[in-house]
Amino acid sequence: MAFSINPNVDRVLEPPTNETRGWVARREYNCELPIIDAAQAVPSYPPADALQAHLAEAVQMADTAFYTPILGIADLREELAESLSAQYGAAVSAEGVAITCGGNHAYCMAMMALAGPGDEIILPEPFYFNHQMWFDLQSIGTRLLPCRETADGVVPDLDELRAMITERTRAVVLVTPNNPTGTVYTPDYICELYTLARERGIALVLDETYKDFLPGGEPPHGLFLDPDWGDTFVFLYSFSKVYSLTGYRVGALVGGGRFIDAIAKIADTLTICAPHVSQKAALFGLRNLAGWTEEKRDQLNRRLGLLRRAFETIDPAFKLVSSGAFFGYLRHPFEGMKSLDVSRNLFRDQSVLTWPGSFFGPNQEQYVRLAFANAGDAEIDELVRRLSAMTP
């Protein structure tokens, strides 16, 4: 008799990325048009030359073959704390920083520290699909908070959130800038959300993986200014996008003392530490690549402007309901058609690879997501023209 598989794992959906990769592998596209890959969110450029040279040297160093401390290299924790302190205008301590194996690892450990089987976490929909998958694996209940199309993007209503919180609720999650919608939540909105979470005794978990691509100026929020922020707020981050290191798997989380103590237990059990060479890469980036990251930030914001103008001038039947960071969220015009079929048809007929809204929640069939950061500046108009060729 064959052994069994954990039923929680059996119930979790298959990795959505495999679906669209299968279309490419089976050549289910218009071979007369070059593929525009606007599916998985990855930078369209390699790491900085100086970082690549540093990595080539780092792998030759004997120490990079060995473990680091569980919570990360001390210099990296300190450097990130200083960077956050400067950006947010508040003192962030290195003792509250944990280095992780990418942003997903940071998220999963944070959720494990906050909730267990039978507990609930509120997740705004649309959501990043790995977030939901982790809850299912851990028998954590998910309460889906609807987001509405507004002038400020796709935004959850705080009154609806207030009504959803129960004695089983342990946290509410927000990704800002958002994946999949690109919505950038205002500092005032984040403050209101934080105040609500603090009043109700739950955690506010902010995934700020894409913060480095904000236009600049004011801090994304002022939560670190509250001396008691560690009782309510958990910050998640990834170095993967800012330094184009997606394959190196290095991220971070920041929290209060009790929370970080819990993270150390979980990290030691799961991974022991983040990859040593990847931590060296992140440290080099923080110390040496400010100019390079600003250049890439400006490049992505220019591309975002091109995308918005293209939708205004070409005016396809697809509507750009929200955009920012790496993403555009589109309402498609095909009433009653599943979003998976819309994305498949876009690839089959126009060689534009997107992700369907159904990847991001059960109520997202009317949408598809563009990861426009994957495309070059010259491809943006062509991408929107191909969308305009798809009519009901």
Per-residue pLDDT at 197: 98
Is residue 2 in a domain? no
pLDDT confidence of residue 17: 87
Contact present, 390 and 317 (Cβ < 8 Å): yes
> Do 281 and 296 reside in the same domain of the chain?
no
Residues 186 and 228 in one domain: yes
Cβ neighbour number for residue 392 with a 10 Å cutoff: 8
pLDDT band at 41 (very low <50, low <70, confident <90, very high): confident
| Secondary structure letter of residue 33 according to DSSP | S
Using only C-alpha atoms, what is the Rg of the chain?
Answer: 21
Cα separation, 283 vs 239, whole angstroms: 10
For residues 248 and 300, state if they share a domain.
no
In this structure, the answer to whether residues 195 and 329 fall within a common structural domain is no
Predicted confidence at residue 40, as pLDDT, reads 87
- Residue 1 CB contacts under 8 Å (≥ 6 apart), including other chains: none
* Residue 210 confidence (pLDDT): 96
How does strand 327-331 pair with strand 352-353? unpaired
> Does any domain span residue 1?
no
Place of tokens 């509410």: 172
End-to-end CA distance of the chain: 52
The pLDDT confidence band at residue 354, using thresholds 50, 70 and 90, is very high
Residue 71 lies in a domain: yes
Same domain, 109 and 161: yes
What is the reported pLDDT for 65? 94
Residue span of the structural domain in which 171 resides: 49-288
Q: Is the peptide bond before 124 cis (omega within 30 degrees of 0)?
A: no
Q: What is the pLDDT of residue 86?
A: 96
- Count the Cβ atoms, other than its own, within 10 Å of residue 10: 8
What mean pLDDT is predicted for residues 50-72? 96
Query: What average pLDDT does range 330-356 have in this prediction?
Result: 96
Instruction: Give the per-residue pLDDT at 377.
Output: 85
Query: Could you give the residue ranges of the DSSP H alpha helices within the chain?
Result: 7-11, 17-25, 49-58, 74-88, 102-114, 129-137, 158-164, 187-200, 257-270, 276-288, 290-314, 339-350, 379-388
pLDDT value of residue 392? 85
Q: How far apart are CA 324 and CA 213, in angstroms?
A: 9
Check which CATH number belongs to the domain holding 360 and give it. 3.90.1150.10
**pLDDT tens profile 246-280:** 999 999 999 999 999 999 999 999 999 999 999 99
CA atoms within 13 A on the CB side of 379: 17
Mean pLDDT, the chain, whole residue set: 95
Q: Percentage of the chain with pLDDT > 70?
A: 100
Last residue of one domain, picked from the residues 288, 320, 353: 288
Residue 282 within a domain: yes
pLDDT digits (tens, 9 = 90+) for 9-31: 988 888 888 998 999 999 998 88
191 vs 200: CA distance, rounded Å: 14
For residue 208, being part of any structural domain is answered with yes
- What is the reported pTM? 0.95
- Dist. CA 145–CA 153, nearest whole Å: 15
- Measured CA to CA, the distance from residue 70 to residue 100 in angstroms comes to 9
pLDDT tens readout for residues 64-101: 999 999 999 999 999 999 999 999 999 999 999 999 99
Report pLDDT for 14.
Answer: 86
Distance CA 302, CA 213 (A): 11
| pLDDT of amino acid 68 | 97
Residue 300 structure tokens: 């992505």
Query: Is 301 exposed, middle or buried (CB count within 10 Å of its CB: 0-12, 13-18, 19+)?
Result: middle
- What pLDDT does 337 receive? 97
DSSP string, 72-96: --HHHHHHHHHHHHHHHTS---GGG
Same domain, 272 and 123: yes
User: How many structural domains comprise the chain?
Assistant: 2
Q: Looking at 99-113, 155-169, 306-320, 368-382, which range is the least confident one?
A: 368-382
Say whether both 247 and 118 belong to one domain: yes
Whether residue 5 lies inside any domain: the answer is no
Q: Are residues 314 and 238 in the same domain?
A: no
In angstroms, rounded to a whole number, what is the distance separating the alpha carbons of residues 376 and 44?
Answer: 7
State which of 238, 267, 288 marks the end of a domain. Answer: 288
- CATH code of 87's domain: 3.40.640.10
Average pLDDT over residues 220-227: 97
In a domain, 44, yes or no: no
Q: Say whether both 302 and 223 belong to one domain.
A: no
Q: Which pLDDT value is given to residue 169?
A: 98
Residue 217 has pLDDT above 90, yes or no: no
**Residue at 339 is within a domain:** yes
